[in-house]
Amino acid sequence: MRKRGVLIGLGALTMALAGAAYAQAGRSAALTQVARFDHQVTGVAVTADGRRFVNFPRWTDDAPISVAEVMPDGTLRPYPDAKWNSWRNARANEMPVGEHFVCVQSIVPDGHGNLWVVDPGAPGNEKILEGAPKLVRINLKTNKVTKVIAVPGDVALQGTYLNDIRFSSDGRTGYITDSGTRGAIIVVDLTSGKSFRALDGHPSTQIDKSVTVAIEGKPLVRPDGRQPAFAADGIAISNDGQTLYWQALTGKTLYSIATDKLRADVSERDRADAVKTVATTAVADGLWMSKAGTLYITSPTDYSIRRLAGSSTEIVLTDKRLRWPDTFSEGSDGTIYVTASHIQDTPWFTPGAPPSIRTQLFSFAPTR
């Protein structure tokens, strides 16, 4: 493709940059729309030098791009290149799953010059394609893939959905939430590529069956009667790398564990005993530990961003444009970025909705 074609013209993934801020009355933070997309966005990553990336999972439509860099002129460039983004469902039998993005859920910089792509390998958030679950490391200086770590079938079980990732301070270990049918924290040695399931089936990583996901008091239900059932989903790590936090999306409790309890030589019993209840929350998707030490939590059911406050949470901002606030990232100046993935507006929960839906990227300044 020529450059303009690679930038996904023809409206396949349009974007509009906006500068107007909007604040709900009585709230202390203002929300600014940064970008608008023609497909469902989930992840966002902002690097230390200000580059911005987003990703589009292959859920209700066959998104024409999986990972994109947001260019200064507002266009989207397939990242790291068009080939990695060339997977199409109709050509699944002819495309190597280890060399293409199949269904990207999140993208996170590791602080060591790399962008990591989490690919659960399950189009439609359904059956895993054999060999497709993987982590892809991209060097941000050369813009080249430098490592692909396949997550094997005894770790990425059928029904697993690799969701989000955080890294140890030295960049050698990745911690991934499995939000699928049997929740867990998947621990990956990023040097050897070996991985294992931790807290596999532990109550802290499972859905809370007492929780109903509702928007404005109306339960979110698929046409066949199913409600959202996502296990361990949001994840964050303390700035010193010593504490990992997570929560099931279909849940109301934030948990933590000391990261030294996630070593391979720790027994699962000792690991379970080390889990701590941090706070009572509500339905939550993304978590983010800011550089200032504030733990931010998305609150999809009331269009809000919250932050941890003792053993509970408090609202930072509420804005009805935040239709399913999903994933966070942070700029070098402390600006917090958050995607709105509009899950309630997809054909899953809105019969008759088009496969492709408009979504947004927002930002806000942290509050004291």
pLDDT in tens, 313-336: 999 999 999 999 999 999 999 999
pLDDT at 368: 67
CB atoms within 10 A of CB 10: 9
Q: Is the dihedral of CA 87, 93, 95, 98 positive or negative?
A: positive
The helix (H) or strand (E) run that includes residue 4 is helix 3-6
pLDDT at 5: 39
DSSP label at 12? T
263-319 tens-digit pLDDT? 999 999 999 999 999 999 999 999 999 999 999 999 999 999 999 999 999 999 999
CA distance 94 to 97: 9
pLDDT range class, residue 81, cuts 50, 70, 90: very high
Mean pLDDT of the chain: 92
pTM of the model: 0.92
Q: What does CATH list as the number for 3-364?
A: 2.120.10.30
CA distance 159 to 85: 24
CA distance 316 to 307: 7
Q: In this structure, what token pair is assigned to residue 37?
A: 């997309």
pLDDT range class, residue 358, cuts 50, 70, 90: very high
97-112 tens-digit pLDDT? 999 999 999 999 999 9
pLDDT at 279: 98
Residues 173/192, Cβ–Cβ less than 8 Å:
no
Domain ranges of the chain: 3-364
Residues 183/232, Cβ–Cβ less than 8 Å:
yes
Residue 133 has pLDDT above 50, yes or no: yes
Half-sphere exposure of 346 (CA within 13 A, CB side): 21
**C-alpha separations of 46 from 10, 68, 94, 234 in Å:** 26, 12, 33, 18
